[in-house]
Amino acid sequence: MSFWDTFRKNPVDKLKVLELQEEEIRLKNKIERARKEINKLEKEKKNRFQEGVGADLLKKKMLTYELKRLDMEVQLKVQGFMAMQKQLMLVSNLVVIKRFEKELKNTPFWDKITHIPPEQLEGALINVNLSGKAFENVLDSLNQVFEMQIADFQTAEDETEKQLLDTWSQIEAGTMDLEEGEETLSIERVLEKREI
């Protein structure tokens, strides 16, 4: 039985710190592998983009489809990466809660933590960072997160082909340098736009 099955079935007081710490290490390793894969794909996108500078229209069209495919792959990897980051935050916070279990049992929070449905507890704990906090700060953070209502929304746009052709044209016309053009492809730039 996996950690996640255990978490969904058992109350917090039955989770073991050792299992949580093992899951934390496993997630950190998976996150590092995903980060390396994303960086590799980003580098491949830059190389494909550079091939399009000065190429004929047919080659640019072919590269556009290749870049779209790579971009889709990067976005999927980033979504997986972000999901693993949330899981890591949850597990890290559960480790902190287990570390302060004795003290928390003397507060109203313990009843709240142990009686909240696992899905709601998971949703609350991925939105707070309890690591490295003293007991009083953990209580304050838990209080805030249980009082908050969180709404997630995502928007998606697809102007990839137009953006690529415009960028290549600007580079060829000399109004944009190659590094600036490559930066428009970066997943980091896409993530920055979503945060704004």
Domain ranges of the chain: 3-147
Residues 115-139 have pLDDT tens digits of 777 787 787 788 777 777 777 777 7
Q: How far apart are CA 159 and CA 165, in angstroms?
A: 10
State what percent of residues in the chain have pLDDT above 90. Answer: 36
pTM to 2 decimals?
0.67
On whether the CB atoms of residues 183 and 189 are closer than 8 A, the answer is yes
173 or 31: whose pLDDT is higher? 31
Supply the pLDDT for residue 157: 38
Supply the pLDDT for residue 121: 79
Is the alpha carbon torsion for 113, 115, 121, 122 positive or negative? positive
The DSSP secondary structure of 14-71, one letter per residue, reads G--HHHHHHHHHHHHHHHHHHHHHHHHHHHHHHHHHHHHTT--HHHHHHHHHHHHHHH
Residue linked to tokens 């255990």: 6
**Cα distances (Å, whole numbers) of residue 160 to 33, 65, 67, 145, 191:** 27, 9, 9, 38, 15
Cβ-based neighbours of 46, under 8 Å, separated by 6 or more: 182, 185
Given a cut of 90, whether residue 73 has pLDDT beyond it is yes
